[in-house]
Amino acid sequence: MTYLLALDQGTSSSRSIVFNAQGQIMAMAQQEITQIYPQPGWVEHDPMQIWQTQLATAIEALAKSGISAAQVSALGITNQRETTVVWHKGTGQPIHNAIVWQDRRTEPACAALREQGLADTIQAKTGLLVDAYFSGTKLQWILDNVPNARAQAERGELLFGTVDSWLMWQLSGGAVHATDVSNASRTMLFNIHTHTWDTELLAALRIPPAMMPTVQASSAVYGQVRPQLLGHAITIGGVAGDQQSALFGQACFGAGMAKNTYGTGCFMLMHTGHTAMHSQNGLITTSAAQVAVQPKSAPQFALEGSVFVGGAVVQWLRDGLGAIRHSSEVQALAESVPDSGGVMVVPAFTGLGAPYWRPDARGSITGLTRGSTVAHIARAALESIAFQSAALLQAMGRDLAQAGVAPVQELRVDGGACVNNLLMQFQADLLGLDVVRPEVTETTALGAAYLAGLSTGVYASTDELSAQWRVERRFSPQRLPDFAAEQMALWEHAVRKTVF
Which of 268, 225, 224 lies closest to 414 in space, CA to CA? 268
| Contacts (Cβ under 8 Å, ≥6 apart) of 62 | 5, 16, 18, 27, 68, 69, 72, 230, 231
Dist. CA 411–CA 433, nearest whole Å: 8
What pLDDT is recorded for position 426?
A: 92
**How far is 308 from 311, CA to CA, in rounded Å?**
10
Report the candidate in 381, 347, 351, 385 with the shortest Cα–Cα distance to residue 364.
347
Within 10 angstroms of residue 364's Cβ, the number of other Cβ atoms is 16
Kind of pairing between the strands at 434-438 and 410-414: parallel
Q: What are phi and psi of 345, to 5 degrees?
A: -110, 125
Q: What is the pLDDT of residues 17-31, one digit of tens each?
A: 999 999 999 999 999
Query: Which residues partner with 412 through β-bridges?
Result: 259, 436
16, 60 Cβ separation under 8 angstroms: yes
Render pLDDT for 137-149 as a digit per residue (tens, 0 to 9). Answer: 999 999 999 999 9
Are 21 and 27 spatial neighbours (Cβ–Cβ below 8 Å)? no
pLDDT of residue 74: 96
Low-confidence ranges of the chain (pLDDT < 50): 294-296
Please list, residue by residue across 333-357, b when 16 or more beta carbons sit within 10 angstroms of its beta carbon and e when fewer do.
bbeebeebbebbbbbbebbbbbbbb
Which own/partner pairs from 293-300 qualify as long-range (CB within 8 Å, at least 24 positions apart)?
293/219, 293/454, 293/455, 294/461, 294/462, 297/217, 298/274, 299/181, 299/192, 299/193, 299/195, 299/274, 300/271, 300/273, 300/274
Cis-peptide, bond into residue 355, ω within 30° of zero: yes
Residues whose CB falls within 8 Å of the CB of residue 371, separated by 6 or more in sequence, listed in order: 341
Backbone CA torsion sign across 98, 101, 104, 109: positive
Q: What is the pLDDT of residues 381-394, one digit of tens each?
A: 999 999 999 999 98
Strands 301-307 and 266-271: antiparallel
How far is residue 421 from each of residues 169, 332, 410, 429, measured CA to CA in Å?
41, 11, 17, 12
Predicted pLDDT of residue 294? 47
pLDDT at 295: 44
Pairing of strands 98-99, 44-45: antiparallel
With CA atoms as reference, report the closest residue to 177 among 169, 187, 186.
169
Q: What domains sit in the chain, N to C, each tagged with a CATH number?
A: 3-243 (3.30.420.40)
pLDDT at 304: 93
Rg (CA), the chain: 22
Given a contact cutoff of 8 angstroms between Cβ atoms, the answer to whether 337 and 349 are in contact is no
- The pLDDT value recorded for residue 296 is 47
Q: Nearest 5 degrees, angle CA 379-CA 323-CA 349?
A: 70
Rounded CA separation 404/426 (Å): 28
CB distance 172 to 226 below 8 Å: yes
Return the pLDDT at 328. Answer: 80
CA distance 223 to 236: 5
